[in-house]
Amino acid sequence: MLKIDSHQHFWIYDEVRDSWITDDMAVIRDDFNPDRLLAELQQHNFDGSVVVQSDQTPAENIFQLENAANNAFVKGVVGWVDLQATDVEEQLFELSSYTKLKGFRHILQGEEDRALMLKPEFVNGIDKLKRFGYTYDILIFPDQLKYAAELAKMFPDQPLVLDHIAKPDIKNGTIDQWKKDISELARHENVYCKVSGMVTEADWKQWKADDFNPYLDVVFETFGLERIMYGSDWPVCLVAARYNQVVGIMEQYTLKLSSNEQAMFWGGNATKFYNL
């Protein structure tokens, strides 16, 4: 079974486009290319990764598909397409010749309309993905989990994956409403969950591995071992932790799993979901 980092990014830093990188995140105001990640993957015996969009433009697809074409370890690309466009089906058809393009993501967490994913135009875009065998990554904050559950219910045959366990407030230990809402989403068997992005929701300077256990317990129990996958969220994770620390949190937590369960978490589920 392949060992896969299911969630990472590449970019050439641009201070206008990447204005989301604030002063306290200065460590990632830099260029992050495949060579830098490959060294980390090799150190931890990963076979490959899935690169995920961070910019919402057609140029992002071209950039990441070039990275994938030039680096065999990049097994898949999650790109961006305007799902609300009237010609979304034509755009998907044009992109369908790229075998490493596995699916799409929209940065829903930053949208003023918290329920944008349920608007008819957006729903129409999601409806078109299945025809081309594309997945969809759900990037949201906890307040949007209830809308994600509605979306999942509308498209029971569409493969969906929740990014970053929906970014709960780990820093302050807030868990009750998130737990309730994520349990509701997990009832939909077409939804997977990326165990990623946690360190950036914790106290960047003083987090401890134990801080994540209550959240991990919820995710592992609700989604089950066949619908969860490891992701580093490199290089964003670097604002709070080194790559080996992110891996270490999950190595420690998954010690209690059987070797087959570990293989599913560390790559088997991602390979299946993204058809790598």
pLDDT in tens, 116-171: 999 999 999 999 999 999 999 999 999 999 999 999 999 999 999 999 999 999 99
pLDDT(1) > 90:
no
Strand pairing report for 135-138 and 160-162:
parallel
Using a 10 angstrom Cβ sphere, with 0-12 exposed, 13-18 middle and 19 or more buried, the burial of residue 12 is exposed
pLDDT tens-digit series, residues 26-42: 999 999 999 999 999 99
Q: Quick check: 138 and 194 in contact, CB under 8 A?
A: no
Mention every residue, 6+ apart, whose C-beta is less than 8 A from residue 227: 186, 189, 191, 192, 193, 269
Q: Provide the 3-class DSSP secondary structure of residue 143.
A: helix
pLDDT at position 72, please?
98
Model confidence at 243: pLDDT above 90: yes
Note whether 78 and 135 are within 8 A (CB): yes
pLDDT reported for residue 143: 98
Q: How many CB atoms lie within 10 A of CB 84?
A: 15
Percent of residues, the chain, with pLDDT higher than 70: 100
pLDDT of residue 200: 98
Averaged pLDDT for residues 238-257: 97
In this prediction, residue 195 has a pLDDT band, given cuts at 50, 70 and 90, of very high
pLDDT value of residue 197: 97
Which residues constitute the domain of residue 239?
4-274
Express each pLDDT in 253-263 by its tens digit: 999 999 999 99
Mean pLDDT of 216-238: 98
Beta bridge partners of 168: none
The total domain count for the chain is: 1
| Mean of pLDDT over the chain | 97
Which phi and psi (to 5°) does residue 121 adopt?
A: -65, -40
CATH of the domain at 33: 3.20.20.140
Among residues 132, 144, 75, 133, the alpha carbon closest in space to that of 107 is found at 144
- Segment 91-99 shows an average pLDDT of 97
Reference 42, options 242, 241, 243, 198; nearest CA is: 243
Strand, helix or coil for residue 152: helix
Is there a contact between 17 and 31 (Cβ–Cβ < 8 Å)?
no
Greatest C-alpha distance within the chain: 49
- Cα 160 to Cα 116, 126, 157, 165, 173: the distances in Å are 16, 10, 9, 13, 27
